[in-house]
Structure 1
Amino acid sequence: MFQIIGIVLLFAMVFGSYIMAGGKMDVIIHAAPHELMAIGGAGVAAFLIGNSVTVIKATLGGFGTIFKGPKWKAQDYRDLLSLLFLLTKTMKSKGVIALEAHIEKPHESTIFSRYPKIAHDHFAVDFICDTLRMMTMNLEDPHQVEDAMEKQLEKHHHEAHGAAHALTQLSDGLPALGIVAAVLGVIKTMGSITEPPAVLGTMIGGALVGTFMGVFMAYGLVGPMATRLGGVLDEDHNFYKIIQAVLVAHLHGNAAQISVEIGRGNVPSAYQPSFAELEEALSQMPNE
C-alpha cells in the first residue's frame, strides 16, 4: 500500500512542481515515448545480458514481493515456534525413531501438516529436517551443527538477494543510459542546426528529457524498489534464523520449552509473540 502511495506521490510532486513553475508538458509528452524506448529498452537488454535465467525469473517474481511485503507474519512465527516445540519434544520424549517418521517424509507428517504455510516452504522444511537428521546421525557438537546451519543460511540468503542485486545494478545504469538517449537527441538536433531557434529549442528540450528520464527512473523508481526488495528478503531471512536458534538450543540439551523460548527472544520485535501468547499456543496443542 505505501509503495503505491509513494509512486503516486513521486509523480505528483515531480511533475506538479514542474507545472507550477510554468513548465510545459508538451515537450515531455512528445519526447517521452522515444526516450523511454531507448532507456527502458537498453536497460532491459542490459539486464538480460548481465543476469542468469534464475535471477531474471526471481526478479520478475520479486516485483510482487515489493508490494506484498514480507512473506512471514506474526502468526507464522508463532506457528514456527509451535512446530519446533513439537519436533524437539518428540525427539526428547520418544527418541530418534519416533522423530524419523516426521523428518524422512515431512509431507506425510502429522506435525508438519498442522502448519501448511510452513510445510509448503521447501527451504524451511528441508532446513529443519536436514538439521534434525544430522542430530540423529550422532552429530552432537552444537558448534559444528551451528556452523553447518550458518553456511546453509548464507547460501540461501545470497541466492535470494540475486534479484535485489540485479535491480540495483539496473538502477545504477539508468542515468548513464539516459545520457546516451540525450546524446542521440543532441546529434539529431545538430543535424537540424539550420532550423529556427524555436525549433532547435524544442529539439534540445526533447533531448534533455532523456537525461531526466534516466535519473528519474533510477532514483525515483528502480533504486527504491531494489532497496525495498532487499529489505523484505532480509526480514524473511529472520524466519529461518529462528529455526537455527531453537535447534542449536535443543542440541545444547535444553528442554523443548526452553529452546523455543530462546527462539522467541530472537523473533523480530514487530512479530514477536509475548511469553504468555506463546505459552497459550503451546498449551492448546494436543499431544503428538
Structure 2
Amino acid sequence: MFQIIGIVCLFAMVFGSYIISGGNMAPILHALPHEMMAIGGAAVGATLISNSLTTLKGMGSGMGKVFGGPKWKASDYRDLLSLLFLLTKTMKSKGVIALESHIEKPHDSTIFNRFPKIVKDHFATDFICDTLRMMTMNLEDPHQVEDAMEKQLEKHHHEALHPAHAMAGLSDALPALGIVAAVLGVVKTMGSITEPPEILGEMIGGALVGTFLGILLSYGLVGPFAARMSGVIEEDAAFYKIIQAVLIAHLHGNAAQISVEIGRGNIPSTMQPSFLEMEEALNNIPAEAA
C-alpha cells in the first residue's frame, strides 16, 4: 500500500511542480515513446546479459515482495515455535525412532501438516528435517550443528539476495543509459542544424528527456524497489534464524518449552508474541498432537 502511495506521490510531485511552474508536457509526451524505447530496451538487454535465468525469475517474483511485504507474519512465528515445540518434545519424550517418520516424509507427517504454510516453504521444511536428521545420526555437538546450520543459512541468504543485487545494478545503470538516449537525441539535432531555432529547441528538449527519465527511473523507482526487495528478504531471513536458535537450545539439553522460549526471544520485536500468547498457543495444541 505504501509503495503505491509512494509512486503516486513521486509522479504527482515531480510533474506537478513542472506544470505549476509553467512547464509544457507536450515535448515530454512527444519524446517519451522513443526515449523509453532506447532506455528501457537497453536496460532489458543489459539485465539479460548480466544475469542468469534463475536471477531473472527472482527479479520477477521479487516485485511481489516489494508490494506484498514480508512472507512471514506474526502468526507464522507462533506456528513455527509450536511446530518446533512438538518436534523437540517428541524427540525428548519418545526418542529419535518416533521422530524419524516425521522428518523423512514431512508432507505426510501429522505434526508438520498442522502448519501448512511452513510445510509449503521448501527451505524451512528441509532445514528443520535435515538438522533433526543429523541429530538422529548422533551428531550431538551443539557447536558443530550450529556451524553447519549457519553455513546453510548464509548460502540461502546469499542466493535469495541475488535478484535484489541485480535490481540495484540496473538502478545504477539507468542514469548512464539515459545519457546514451540523450546523446542520440543530440546527434539527431546536429543533423538538423539548419532548421529554425524553435525546431532545434524542441529537438534538444526531447533529447534531454532521455537524461531526465534515466535519473527519475533510477532514483525514483528502480533503486527504491531494489532497497525494498532487499529489506523484505532480510526480514524473512529472521524466520529461519529462529529454527537455528530453538534446535541449538534443544541440543544443549533444554526442555522443549525452554528451547521455544529462547527462540521467542530472537523473534523481531514487531513480530514477537508475548510469553502469555505463546503459552496459550502451546496449551491449545491438542493432546494427541503433543
TM-score bin (small chain): over 0.9
Q: Once the two structures are superposed, what CA deviation does each residue of 1:65-89 show, in whole Å capped at 9, x if it has no partner? A: 1100000000000000000000000
Aligned length, in residue pairs = 288
- Separation (CA, whole Å) in 2 of partners of 1:135 and 1:61: 35
Matching of residue 272 in structure 1 with residue 272 in structure 2: yes
- Separation (CA, whole Å) in 2 of partners of 1:40 and 1:251: 53
| Paired position in structure 2 for 1:26 | 26
| Paired position in structure 2 for 1:47 | 47
Matching of residue 69 in structure 1 with residue 64 in structure 2: no
TM-score, L = length of structure 2: 0.99
| Paired position in structure 2 for 1:140 | 140
Describe how 1:213-252 pairs up with structure 2 within 5 A: 213-252=213-252
**What amino acid sits opposite 1:285 in the alignment?**
I
- Separation (CA, whole Å) in 2 of partners of 1:222 and 1:44: 13
- Separation (CA, whole Å) in 2 of partners of 1:78 and 1:46: 43
Describe how 1:249-264 pairs up with structure 2 within 5 A: 249-264=249-264
Deviation of 1:240 (Å): 0.3
Describe how 1:1-288 pairs up with structure 2 within 5 A: 1-287=1-287, 288=289
Q: Once the two structures are superposed, what CA deviation does each residue of 1:25-70 show, in whole Å capped at 9, x if it has no partner? A: 0110000101000000100000000000000011111111110000
Consecutive aligned runs of 4 or more in structure 1 exceeding 4 Å deviation = none
Deviation of 1:144 (Å): 0.6
Q: Once the two structures are superposed, what CA deviation does each residue of 1:91-149 show, in whole Å capped at 9, x if it has no partner? A: 00000000101001101100000000001100000000000000011111101100100
- Separation (CA, whole Å) in 1 of partners of 2:2 and 2:57: 25
- Separation (CA, whole Å) in 1 of partners of 2:269 and 2:134: 31
* Residue ranges of structure 1 left out of the alignment (5+ in a row): none
Q: Secondary structure at the match of 1:285?
A: coil
TM-score, L = length of structure 1: 0.99
**What amino acid sits opposite 2:213 in the alignment?**
M
Name the stretch that deviates more: 58-67 or 185-194: 58-67
- Separation (CA, whole Å) in 1 of partners of 2:165 and 2:147: 26
- Separation (CA, whole Å) in 2 of partners of 1:245 and 1:264: 9
* Residue ranges of structure 2 left out of the alignment (5+ in a row): none
**What amino acid sits opposite 1:120 in the alignment?**
K
**What amino acid sits opposite 1:114 in the alignment?**
R
